[in-house]
Amino acid sequence: MQITILGGGGFLGQKLARRLAQDGAVGGRRITGLTLFDLHAPPVPMAPFPVKALGGDVADPADMAIAIPRGTDAVVHLAAVVSAQAEADFDLGLRVNVHGTLAVLAACRALRKPPRVVFTSSVASFDGGQEARLDDDARQLPGNSYGAEKAIGELLLQDASRRGFLDAVNIRLPTVIIRPGRPNKAASSFVSAILREPLLGLETTLPVPEEFAVWICSPRRAIDWFLHALAMDTAPLGLDRGVNPPGRSATVGKMLSALETVAGPAARALVKHAPDPAIEAIVGDWPASFTAARARNLLGFSEQESLEEIVQGFIEDDLAATRAERGI
């Protein structure tokens, strides 16, 4: 099985690459090669199969033809401009998130056999706000450019699946916490920061009230979902290739309580409330809860861990590396 990860230098791309290298197989199929593609050539994990790292532009058809070569069986499309950045720079978001997906589609159409494509869409492709609890057939009506671009990508890949050009699973990721490293330009970056920075012994700001709720998942669970999507039977999806995976709805206050349970009151005290209307305007439109019945009951996606387990998972998996990266 030949696999390409687009956005292979990002934190989820790197975690997925390491997991594939560790497992050596997906769904009982042996991995025979892995290509990691990003703006700059990503780090390569030690693996029992060949791993190639490439740098380039996801919106360039020539680069995509190299990154998704003949013989590719599966593509995990993580490459994207994140939410606040796409909102601030419409042209950049359009180029990467829409034209990039079009270039991926063109490269997949050129393959001998239609590949499985796992596309990371987002909860940001929905509207509804804090009071919403959306069913699986809820309409996507994004209130931000990033969400609109993800919804466009979903429709393109859904139609390409209908026509037999590829076999897509569009996973609408919740806000993934706790992200290692440094804060990024995602509007939801604060959700990781209010847990990560105190664990590093650093103060951080909270731009929304503690009663603000977010639909979240852990990095561990996101990787499990990608692996499941690579191997699952897609026949039950039918025409609808969009999946709302079983995340967890949690208020900021509950997240901080979990932080306090695991790391103590001193950690929670490092979070300082500093309202940011611009951030709240973006994330406030995102639904805070989904039923995710289809993913649970029909498609076999695994459940999300508890908040305390998410905090402990970051400590076990990423805290030491984050300290080293940031020189703490």
Alpha carbon distance 116, 6 (integer Å): 13
Convert the pLDDT of each residue in 191-212 to its tens digit: 999 999 999 999 999 999 999 9
Q: Which residues are part of the catalytic machinery?
A: 146
Residue 180: is its pLDDT beyond 90?
A: yes
Angle subtended at Cα 137 by Cα 131 and Cα 138, rounded to the nearest 5 degrees: 35
Out of 3.30.230.80, 3.40.50.720, 3.40.630.30, 3.40.50.960, the CATH code matching 2-174+217-243 is 3.40.50.720
Residue 131: is its pLDDT beyond 90?
A: no
Residue 210 buriedness (CB in 10 A; 0-12 / 13-18 / 19+): middle
Indicate the pLDDT class of residue 169, thresholds 50, 70 and 90.
Answer: very high
Name the residue ranges covered by the structural domains of the chain: 2-174+217-243, 189-214+248-287+305-325
The mean pLDDT of 215-225, rounded to a whole number, is: 98
What is residue 37's three-state secondary structure? Answer: strand
Residue 185: is its pLDDT beyond 80?
A: no
The mean pLDDT of 259-278, rounded to a whole number, is: 96
Residue with tokens 């490092």: 270
- Its sign, for the CA torsion 135, 188, 89, 87, is positive
Judged by average pLDDT, the poorest of 14-23, 70-79, 124-133 is 124-133
Q: What string of DSSP letters covers 82-96?
A: -HHHHHH-HHHHIII
The mean pLDDT of 267-293, rounded to a whole number, is: 92
Out of 3.40.50.720, 3.30.70.1400, 3.90.25.10, 3.30.390.30, the CATH code matching 189-214+248-287+305-325 is 3.90.25.10
Residue 171: is its pLDDT beyond 90?
A: yes
Q: What is the pLDDT of residue 280?
A: 87
Residues near 161 by Cβ (< 8 Å), separated by ≥ 6?
Answer: 167, 168, 234, 241
Q: What is the pLDDT of residue 281?
A: 85
The mean predicted confidence, pLDDT, of the chain is 96
Q: What is the pLDDT of residue 51?
A: 98
pTM of the model: 0.95
Q: What is the pLDDT of residue 244?
A: 98
Residue 233: is its pLDDT beyond 80?
A: yes
Residue 84: is its pLDDT beyond 90?
A: no
